[in-house]
Amino acid sequence: MRVKPGASRTRVGGSYEGPYGSALIIAVTAPAVDGRATEAARRALADALELRPGAVELRAGAASRDKLFGVAPAGAALDARLRRLRAGSAR
């Protein structure tokens, strides 16, 4: 995921060609201070994937704009939602 802190509104959608390949973009209004943007991104991702916030956990990238989140449970429905979000269907 590519997190954009300090955005005018929270938005999940689109893709970013980063150093590790295509990443989902998560724009959040929270500043990149004391983990606030990371937490806002985690919650925004959970909301966009229609999951409870506890189902999404940060696995890597606490101090980076490029983050790796783990999502449980994985499955075909989750993959379909991620493809829709990457295609630009912002939520």
Task: Write the CATH number for 73.
Answer: 3.30.1200.10
Q: What is the pLDDT of residue 14?
A: 93
Query: Is residue 69 one of the residues assigned to a domain?
Result: yes
The predicted-structure confidence for 18-63, as pLDDT tens digits, reads as follows: 877 889 999 999 999 999 999 999 999 999 999 999 999 999 999 9
Number of domains in the chain: 1
Q: Establish if 25 belongs to a structural domain.
A: yes
Q: How confident is the model at residue 76 (pLDDT cuts 50, 70, 90)?
A: confident
Residue at 20 is within a domain: yes
Tell me the three-class secondary structure of the chain, residue by residue: CEEECCCCCCEEEEEEEECCEEEEEEECCCCCCCCHHHHHHHHHHHHHCCCCHHHEEEEECCCCCECEEEECCCCHHHHHHHHHHHCCCCC
pLDDT at 90: 56
Neighbour tally for 66: CB within 10 Å: 14
Domain housing 40: 2-86
Residue 34 lies in a domain: yes
Given pLDDT bands bounded at 50, 70 and 90, which one contains residue 79?
A: confident
Task: Please indicate, yes or no, if residue 91 is contained in any of the structural domains.
Answer: no
User: What is the chain's Cα-based Rg?
Assistant: 12
* CA atoms of 12 and 89, how far apart (whole Å): 8
Picking from 47, 77, 43, the residue whose alpha carbon sits closest to that of residue 57 is 43
